[in-house]
């Protein structure tokens, strides 16, 4: 997807409206128009990068700093039981907009938001094999 066709790039450029919360030179925070919780917020990079794998480190750092700032404000405004930060990369991870962004979700006990997985012990051998593959990729 090109920057011209990207919905988030159009929001950054002011060609599409948003319910803005905060912005600086590198990031923008605004309310999600399909909220799963009261206060559901998106934080995006002003630089078009599709995933965390593509975004330059300075732009990523700016987004994370804004996420922390907004999460603190959400905590003060709503006093949720917790806050979930979600960031997906690619269609297989349910990334709906191919522009790097993070969701900030105020959470309450029993909100029934289907995001938490059960802790199930894994096979130690399979875990070790996965770690070896990752270490090899880090070295190579």
Q: What is the 3-state secondary structure (H, E, C) of the chain?
A: CCCCCCHHHHHHCCCCCCCEEEECCCEEEEECCCCCCCCCEEEEECCCCCCCCCCCHHHHHHHHHHHHHHHHHHHHHHCCCEEEEECCCCHHHCCCCCCCEEEEEEECCCCCCCCCCCCCCCCHHHHHHHHHHHHHHHHC
- Fold annotation for 7-114: HIT family, subunit A (3.30.428)
% of the chain beyond a pLDDT of 90? 76
pLDDT tens readout for residues 95-108: 999 999 999 999 99
Residues recognised as catalytic: 101
Kindly list the domain boundaries of the chain, sorted by start residue.
Answer: 7-114
Supply the pTM of this predicted model: 0.89
pLDDT tens readout for residues 1-10: 566 789 999 9
């Amino acid at each position: 997807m090109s920057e011209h066709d990207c919905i988030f790039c159009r929001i950054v450029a002011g060609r599409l409206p948003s319910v803005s919360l905060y912005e600086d030179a590198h990031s923008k925070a605004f309310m999600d128009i399909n909220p799963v919780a009261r206060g559901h917020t998106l934080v995006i990079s002003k630089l078009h990068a599709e995933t965390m794998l593509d975004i330059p480190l300075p732009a990523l750092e700016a987004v994370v700093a804004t996420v922390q700032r907004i999460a603190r404000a959400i905590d003060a405004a709503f006093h949720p039981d917790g806050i979930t930060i979600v960031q997906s990369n690619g269609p297989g991870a349910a990334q709906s907009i191919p522009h790097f962004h993070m969701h900030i979700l105020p959470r309450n006990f029993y909100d029934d938001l289907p995001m938490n997985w059960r802790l199930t012990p894994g096979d130690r051998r399979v875990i070790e094999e996965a770690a070896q593959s990752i270490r090899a990729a880090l070295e190579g």
